[in-house]
Amino acid sequence: MIMRLALQSLRNRWVTALLTVLAIAVSVMLLLGVEKVRTGARQSFADTISGTDLIVGARSGSLNLLLYSVFRIGNATNNVTWKSYEDIAKLPDVSWIVPLSLGDSHHGFRVLGTNSDYFTHYKFRRGQSMSFVAGGPFKDLFDAVIGSDVADTLHYKVGDNIVIAHGVGSISFVEHADKPFRVAGILAKTGTPIDRTVHVSLEAIEAIHIDWQSGAPVPGQSVTPDEVRKMDLTPRAITAAMVGLNSKLATFKIQRAINNYSEEPLSAIMPGVALQELWGLIGTAETALSAVSAMVVVTALLGMVTMILTTLNERRREMAILRSVGATPATVLGLLAAEGGLLTLAGVVLGTVALYVGLYFARPYIDHAYGLSLAIDPPRADEWVKLALIVAAGFVAGLLPALRAYRLSLADGMMIRT
């Protein structure tokens, strides 16, 4: 009875009611959307590297090692000697090891020296492998494989020649111009730092520095690309290495063994654990996002209360007529509270549906443009609770104008104000 009255009353004021529902819908969409982006961002972050059991570098903190080896941020404290690399590779439980050598750049993008195994062993997004949109891994000494952002920004295609700069600044005065590289492959977008990396072979890193001393070319001493091919290009040092193990059970044993390696101070970190530590540091932004979206919901509910309150004046007659035909003050109270609740419920349902529809269509675009993979999964338990709370808050908010109407006497509505 009350519900039917409330519905019909709302139908008479459908424009304002619709706008209120929309306002609540948008706020609910934002609340749930922020939650989706938040979990998506967290997941994408955690998905930056997977399948690698340990990352080995010079002795340093786990975050530092993770930042320079995976995110290409900052620099290594020290290098790892090739001898140690070989020792680790020989450990019984080590299944594969991929060297990483950083230090040069190309138009602000980091250059990573590695080997072809990198393309098979580096996994992201729970075991997804890299794929090539054009070309393939290195075949020649001076072949380079570039990430998708590098290709997009610098408009490179397979076969282009590029010159690598010494050091990591975006403007460099020392270049390896005598030994240009050829773009051999372009990687598909991964949403990870790989997109912003130029990959070359470890031997090539050695080759372009072979006639250099103390970080600068030696005048009058130049080794041509053809001469360098005949030289021994075994690197003396690398920056870090990714290690895969035969069994997860060996993870901590090998980690401890590397950390206690007495010939060189090394650190072995578990990338998954370090990622989590890093997220713990930057995760404060998550709380801020949630707080903002919660405030938006509060604003929308306030708007609804305002709407009902302002229309109350116009509805003095409606209330009075209801009272005169025998409705008790309690019925009027229930009517207005139901109105608030119905509006909120409609807003919540509309907002949720709109979010999932929007998510369905925007998902491929967001993934491609931002490397953010948003999951389309039903609201989690705590989200259901949030939605229920919003509807409950709508009922309570409706009570506010209802109490006002409750207090107004029957006579008040009957009198004609001038």
- Contact residues toward other proteins (CB under 8 A) are 46, 50, 53, 87, 90-93, 126, 247-254, 256-258, 260-263, 265, 270-273, 276-277
Contact 140, 229 (CB under 8 A): no
Give the Cα-Cα-Cα angle 26, 31, 33 (nearest 5 degrees).
85
Nearer to other proteins, 91 or 223 (CB): 91
Phi, psi dihedrals of residue 351, rounded to the nearest 5°? -60, -45
The tally of CA atoms less than 13 A away on the side-chain side of residue 26 is 10
Shortest reach from residue 250's CB to other proteins, in Å: 7
Shortest reach from residue 55's CB to other proteins, in Å: 11
Nearer to other proteins, 169 or 272 (CB): 272
Nearer to other proteins, 83 or 368 (CB): 83
Shortest reach from residue 197's CB to other proteins, in Å: 23
Nearer to other proteins, 174 or 270 (CB): 270
Q: How many CB atoms lie within 10 A of CB 260?
A: 9
Q: Which of 353, 403, 349, 333 is nearest to 5 (CA)?
A: 333
Nearer to other proteins, 22 or 270 (CB): 270
The region, left, alpha or beta by phi > 0 then psi within -120 to 50, assigned to residue 259 is alpha
Nearer to other proteins, 276 or 290 (CB): 276
Shortest reach from residue 238's CB to other proteins, in Å: 18
Q: DSSP state, 249?
A: G
- What is the length of the chain? 418
Shortest reach from residue 364's CB to other proteins, in Å: 25
Angle of helix 284-314 versus helix 381-407 axis, rounded to 10: 30
Q: How far apart are CA 323 and CA 138, in angstroms?
A: 85
Shortest reach from residue 130's CB to other proteins, in Å: 18
Tokens of 37: 């982006």
